[in-house]
Structures are given as C-alpha cells and as structure tokens.
Structure 1
Amino acid sequence: MRDGWTYQSLDALVELEWVELGRGKVISKLDLAQTPGTYPVYSSAKEADGKFGEYGLYMFDEELITWSVDGGGHLFHRPKHRFSVTNVGGTLRILRREKLDYRFLYYMLSYVQSTIPFDWVLKAHPSVLRRLYTHLPVPELGEQKRVASILDEAFAGIAAATTNAEKNLANARSLVDVAIEEQLSRISQGQHQKTTVAQLAEDRKNSIRTGPFGSQLLHGEFVDEGIAVLGIDNVVQNQFRWDKRRYITAEKFQELTRYRVFPGDVLISIMGTCGRCAVVPDDIPLAINSKHLCCISVDQSLCLPEFLKLYFLHHPMAKNYLEERASGAIMAGLNMGIIKDLPVLLPSVNEQAEIVMTCDKLSRGLSDLTVLYSRKRAHLAELKQAILRQAFSGELTALPGAEMQDEAA
C-alpha cells in the first residue's frame, strides 16, 4: 500500500443505519404502478444496479450508500438524492464528509466485499458489516477524490462497452426473429393444405396428452433418481434443456406409462409460463411429462416435429389463433383442446425440411453471438475487479489506457 494510506474500520468512517422494513413499508410493483413518480427505488436485485423502479414518494433526501444481501454477498448502491429502498439492509451515512468521499467509500466497499467469503445465512444487519469491514484502506481526501475520479471514468467506459454489447445482441435477436417470421409467413393459405394439430398426431391412443393430475402423482412421490419427469423448466427457453431434475420410481412409472415421452415429441407448456415449445431430443432417457405440459407425438410422415414447433411459435395464423384464446396477456386458458384444434398450413415434408434447416442456421448464428456476448461480459467483470485491485493497493496512477479504449469502443 502507498505512503499516506491507513487501515480503518467501517465503524470509524460512517454511521450505520438499519432500515427496518415492516410489512407495510415494503414497496411492491403494485405500489410503483399506483403511485408513479421519478424517485428511484433500490432493492437487492443485481439487475440494473439494484434499481427496482421509480416511485412517487421517497424515504431519503441526501447522498447515502445503501446495502443489501443477495445470496453470495453484500450489494452496495450509491443513490445521490431522494430515493427509497425495498428489501435492502440499510444505509451508510459518512460521519465527517471533510475526510471521506462517498464515491471512494462506495468503490472501496464494492472491492472489499468481493474479497470476503460471505455466508448468505447472515442477515444484512449493521453487526454483519461491523464484523466484516474492519480493515479498510483509506488515503487522505485528495487521493480519495483522485482515485474515485479515475474509477468513475474507467467504469463509465466498461458500462458503455456492456451497453453496446447488449444492444448488439438485442439487435441480432430481433433480426433473427424477423428472418424466422419471414420464413414461416411464406406458408400461405390457398397454396398449402390446411389441417390441425390433431390430424398431424400419430394415429394411436394418447398421441396428444397432458401429464398426470391430482392424486395420480403427488409431490411426495418424487425421488432422487429413477424415471425422469419433464416440466416447464425443460421447455421454457423454447429449446429442450435439462434444469431441475425430478424422478419417480420404476414402480410408479408402470402406473403412468400412458404419459411416456418419446424422441421427437413436441412439448408445449400449458400452465405457469404458457406457450413455450420444444422438441424432445433423440437421446432422451425414459421419462414422462408433467401436467404442466401437453405432449404431441407427431406423425413424421406428415409433419416434422421441428417444423411444428416453429409453426406454433412463429406463424401468424398460429399466433393469432392463440392470442384470440388468451386471457389478457397470459395464456391462462391454453389447454389440450385448444392445441388439438390449432390450424396448421402444411407444406410438403421437403419444404418443411428446408424451412427447418434455414431457421436452424439462423439460430446457430445467434447462439454463437450469445456465447461471444457472455465472454465479453465475463471479461468486463474481470477487468472491473482488476482495476479495483489496482486502486486499493495504491497502484492506480492513471486511467488504464489501450484496453479501456478497446472495451469502450
């Protein structure tokens, strides 16, 4: 550490105020809608720097630092004037502002908290901060302001780079969505056979089915391993993904064999997050679907499963049909009967294959961009921590040069 820096405790630097948020004081999304305004509300959310929304009332009218607990550690926010908090731990008020800069304190706490192993079961009470933040590196006020100004500029560049990457990814997603919509929109009435989902299912009993209801499958019957039970989480990304694993015993499966899923089945969520769709992969182990899903075993001599998925999600006729049967903005009424009657304009299997291949190519390109974006964000987060380490070891003499310029571009 450089000359002129000293180690001090948080207690010696600030006044710690515990904000007791009783049941009536927690600000909800309904409160924000009923009392709109411009005063920021901060919460424990990591997204948008903890900003929960904007409100017509405020709790504080001064520059403070707020803290909260969210899983793995403290989160600090630096609102300046007139703000409220919800579901956060409390506020930090500097005792002697002529000796301590709020910007410097904010950056210092953000850095130190990343170096402390934190047990999430600890509550966000002042006693927690007093235990953890006892050895803080503090220079004189002029040096604090210099370091804080460099960090402001560096982090503004990182924020700009993050925003640009997010915009680029959002633009790419929009372009891919438009391109896929165009592919499906070319399937028009008059040129293609009109049928329904029910007529495209395999000609056998239970080719379209929902999962077991009520006492057929109780929550207490799930076990740690066995036969998989598929749910909303497996289709919510409109791609089949393994997320939460649920299992039943082989004996229980014998009671529920009618709900078995097969490779190539089309799954549609009908409860909770409705209207999501995915195709069961070829390597699926023995599994059944839950009551939250409608499962369609498609006659693949008539219709390719991936085509039906694309049609369900993107064709104007399918979207209009579902919107007409939606309750408000949520497909609360989506059920097996609606899905069976969904009208389908059906090209030949060869045309379907061409559409699927084109859309797959578009989706793979977007996946590649998403991976690049994730790497970019991870690199920016590492860069942020590296700059903070330099700052609070006393090694930050100027704004990092070429790399920061590259990131901000």
Structure 2
Amino acid sequence: MNEWVESPLYQLATFQKGRKVDTSPFNGDGYAPYLGASGLEGGDDGFAATRLAVIAKSTDTLMLWDGERSGLVGYGRQGVVASTVSKLSPSDKVEPKYLYYALSERFDWIQHRRTGTGVPHVPKDLGRLLKLRYPKQRTIQQRIATILTGIDTAIEKTEALIAKYQQIKAGLMYDLFTRGVLPNGQLRPIESSSSTQFGKIPFGWKLGSILELTDPQRQPILTGPFGADLGNADFVAEGIPVLRIGNVQQGELDLSDLLYVTPRKAALLSRYRIKSGDLLFARQGATTGRNALATKLVYGFLINYHIIRVALDHERCAPLFVEAAFANEVVKRQIERDKGRGTREGINTAQITSLAFPIAPLNEQRQIAQILKKINLQIEATQAELNSYRMRKCGLMHDLLTGKVPVKVEEPEVVDG
C-alpha cells in the first residue's frame, strides 16, 4: 500500500545550529573537516576544532542557514558544522536521504521566506512553517532516494568528464600557441619557438595588431552605446535582445538572462548590431578580457556599453583561432597589465588595438581552429548530456517527491513451509 502523509518538518528532524570554533587550513589532532557554505556541497572549507563543536554524521542533512544561498542543503558530509549552517538529524519517520531530497526540492520555497534586513537567513520557525509529504512506507522512501541518487551519480560523472575535457583543452591550447602545428597536424618542436617579452610564440608567427585581422568594410572595433543612448528606460519585456557583460562567458555566450529594446530603438542603434563571427569582448570589471564569438543565434542582437565588438574578416583569419588567441597567456598578460591604468578597471578600444597579438599564417590558423573545434564539440555534447540529466532530475524530483508517479517496491517471495 502506497500511503502518503504530510508532517511539519520539526516532526521529521531535529535542528542544531553550528557554533563558532577555531578553524585552520590544515588538519591535525582534534580537528575535522569544516562544513560551511562550500563544505556542505563537498568543497573545501578547511578544518575546525571538534571541541565543543556541533558534529555532523553522514546521515544528517546540512542546511545553509545564513547568506544569499540560505536554504541550500547538503548530505553525506561528516565534520564540524559551521555557525552559518544547521544540522538536521532525521527522525524514525523518514529515511535520511529522502529527507535531503525533499528539502532540496523545497529550496525555492525556503528562499522566498527568508528573513533579515542585512544578511538573509532561514526563518527561525522553519520547522513549523514547512510541511513535507512522504510515503508512510520506509521502503518506498528508500526506493525514491535510490532513484534520485542514481541520477545524481550520472550528473557527477558527467561533470567530471567536462572538467577532464577542459583540462585537455587547456593543455592543448598551451601547446598550440607555444609550438604551433606543422602541415601534417603534428606539433612543432618547442626548440623552434621564439621568445618574446610576453612569452613564447611558434616558429613562423609574428606579434601584430588585431587590426590586421578585421573587416575593412566595417568599423573594426566598436564599444557599445553609452549613457543616454541606451538606458534602463529603454528596456521592454520583449523585442530585440541586448547582450550585457554577464552574457559573455569565456568561449561561449550565455543567453539565459537577456534584456530587450523595441525594434524602433534597435533601428536607432543599428551600428551596434552584431553579425555571426564577430568577437565580443568584456571590457570592464573582474571579467575584463573574457571573450566569445557571436554565433548565428545572436545575429542582429545589440551590445551594451560594457562590451567591445571586434569585426573579424573571415578571409584574413580563422575566427576561432582569434578567440583562442585572446585567451592565450601572451595576450592575457598584456590585458592584466593594461586594465587597471584608467580611472576604472577595464580596457578600451585603443588598448585592444595596441595589444601585441600573436598571428599565425592563415592556413595554420585554420588548422588550429579545426583542432579546437573538435574538442569544443566534445565539450558541448557532454554539456548537453549534463543539461539533459539535470532536467530529468528536476522532473523526477517533482514526480517522485509529490507522489504524482507511484513507485513500486518488489515484495519478497513467500515460500510455503
């Protein structure tokens, strides 16, 4: 029988908030892993003294109690509970990992009920306010937790695979931009490379200006509209998208959070519209130097003041090579040197123009672009797989933790005596 019941959280778990204790970056006698905001997700928060501390067992759920991400939960961690974290020890009504998943599914609910004018925190009476549904039969709770654990394992393995590909790409980028490639696709001997004040470049390459690779039919380097040309009052609910600095990630564009202007406003700002293959460059703040190529998906989008657009000539360069070159140490060192020279941390069009930019012969640029495209496709395919797992988990959590989809548990066979 698959009977579901509902209880307030205080009947399903006991709460114990962590205490302030001595911490250290090193382990030692009387110390254990410190479980703060990072530690409850498996990250490294260092170590803390166990004397007088609140200690978590692997069957406890840990909830971040204070801060922007308050309500976030972790499971399976052992160690010292930080003062910003609360330990929830399950009662005999609920399976430990089922409790973790049930609370994880209610993260948004908790976030909307946070209190505090300065640092937000979980409401003190969460145990009374939050009611959780659960199957009365513990074996069904176990089965639900097992299913969700299985998809979590798949997510972790896929994340690890992406990290592996990213490491391979980083090593490959270093070799390509210090050694170059021969016509047969093999790397040149490092001994043939030349030393410059910014680092090694391959044989046959030169340091030049990015202007050598730009489209002569367009303004080569352009900063987005400034001040009154594009302000908050211009944004509307739907229309022509505007890319901001947060949309420019390294090597890709994040289109999850866009602003829009009317077609009429976009027509007035038509010179700031981008084309497929343009290089978009983050020009201010901590993200200065981050860049990505515009794809067909963003053709006709606008840029704002915090982005510089470089119009590349595809007959004179391989755009993917240029994108990678901006992420190369030879260019990054110059950007780091230049970005703090103004009144605000950042870089302008004149500074980009003056960068000593590594330029390979066109055929070699295209070879390198093909090599990078191959590893990029592997990363993109694996990222798509990860996104699919995450969507499946979201759907499963809703279906399984509400009882919408019943879960069957195999009954043991009864043998006649």
- Normalising by structure 2, report the TM-score: 0.66
Q: Compare relative contact order (CA 8 Å, sep 6+) and give the higher one, 1 or 2.
A: 1
Q: Quick one: which of 26, 37, 54 aligns to 1:61?
A: 54
Q: Are the equivalent residues in 2 in contact too, given 1:262–1:284 (CA < 8 A)?
A: yes
Secondary structure in 2 matching 1:209 = strand
Which residue of the partner structure matches residue 338 of structure 2?
A: 325
Q: How far apart are 1:313 and its partner, in Å?
A: 1.8
2:165 is the alignment partner of 1:172: yes
Could you give the per-residue CA deviations for residues 279-312 of structure 1, whole angstroms, max 9, x where no partner exists? 2234644332111111111233322333211221
Which residue of the partner structure matches residue 82 of structure 1?
A: 80
Q: Is 261-270 or 176-185 further displaced after alignment?
A: 176-185
Could you say if the C-alpha distance between residues 14 and 334 of structure 1 is closer, same or farther in structure 2, counting changes exceeding 3 Å? same
2:199 is the alignment partner of 1:185: no
Q: Quick one: which of 128, 131, 135 aligns to 1:130?
A: 128
Q: Quick one: which of 240, 245, 253 aligns to 1:232?
A: 245
Could you give the per-residue CA deviations for residues 231-273 of structure 1, whole angstroms, max 9, x where no partner exists? 2233214124433222223443454344332333211111242
Secondary structure in 2 matching 1:215 = helix
Which residue of the partner structure matches residue 259 of structure 1?
A: 272
Q: Which amino acid aligns with 2:219?
A: N
Secondary structure in 2 matching 1:268 = strand
State the distance in 2 between where 1:382 and 1:283 align: 27
Q: Quick one: which of 251, 259, 262 aligns to 1:246?
A: 259
Q: Aligned ranges for residues 158-307 of structure 1 at < 5 Å?
A: 164-187=157-180, 188=201, 191-203=204-216, 206-272=219-285, 273-282=287-296, 284-307=298-321
Could you say if the C-alpha distance between residues 341 and 299 of structure 1 is closer, same or farther in structure 2, counting changes exceeding 3 Å? same
Secondary structure in 1 matching 2:346 = coil
Which residue of the partner structure matches residue 112 of structure 2?
A: 121
Which residue of the partner structure matches residue 40 of structure 1?
A: 34
Structure 1 unaligned regions, length at least 5 = 95-99, 399-409
Q: Which amino acid aligns with 1:352?
A: Q
State the distance in 2 between where 1:263 and 1:386 align: 41
Q: How far apart are 1:135 and its partner, in Å?
A: 6.5
Secondary structure in 1 matching 2:252 = coil
State the distance in 1 between where 2:347 and 2:20 align: 34
Q: Are the equivalent residues in 2 in contact too, given 1:8–1:138 (CA < 8 A)?
A: no
State the distance in 2 between where 1:394 and 1:232 align: 49
Which residue of the partner structure matches residue 354 of structure 1?
A: 367
Q: Which amino acid aligns with 2:99?
A: L
Q: How far apart are 1:223 and its partner, in Å?
A: 1.6
Secondary structure in 2 matching 1:53 = coil
Q: Are the equivalent residues in 2 in contact too, given 1:67–1:77 (CA < 8 A)?
A: no
State the distance in 2 between where 1:75 and 1:333 align: 37
Could you give the per-residue CA deviations for residues 326-377 of structure 1, whole angstroms, max 9, x where no partner exists? 559xx94333222111223333333322221222122112322333455567
Could you say if the C-alpha distance between residues 234 and 320 of structure 1 is closer, same or farther in structure 2, counting changes exceeding 3 Å? same
Q: How far apart are 1:212 and its partner, in Å?
A: 1.7
Secondary structure in 2 matching 1:295 = strand
Secondary structure in 2 matching 1:228 = strand
Secondary structure in 1 matching 2:45 = strand
Which residue of the partner structure matches residue 405 of structure 1?
A: none
Identity of aligned pairs, percent?
21
Structure 2 unaligned regions, length at least 5 = 115-121, 181-200, 413-417
Q: Are the equivalent residues in 2 in contact too, given 1:193–1:345 (CA < 8 A)?
A: yes
Q: Is 177-186 or 357-366 further displaced after alignment?
A: 177-186
Secondary structure in 2 matching 1:225 = coil
Q: How far apart are 1:84 and its partner, in Å?
A: 1.6
Q: Which amino acid aligns with 1:338?
A: Q
Q: Which amino acid aligns with 1:83?
A: V
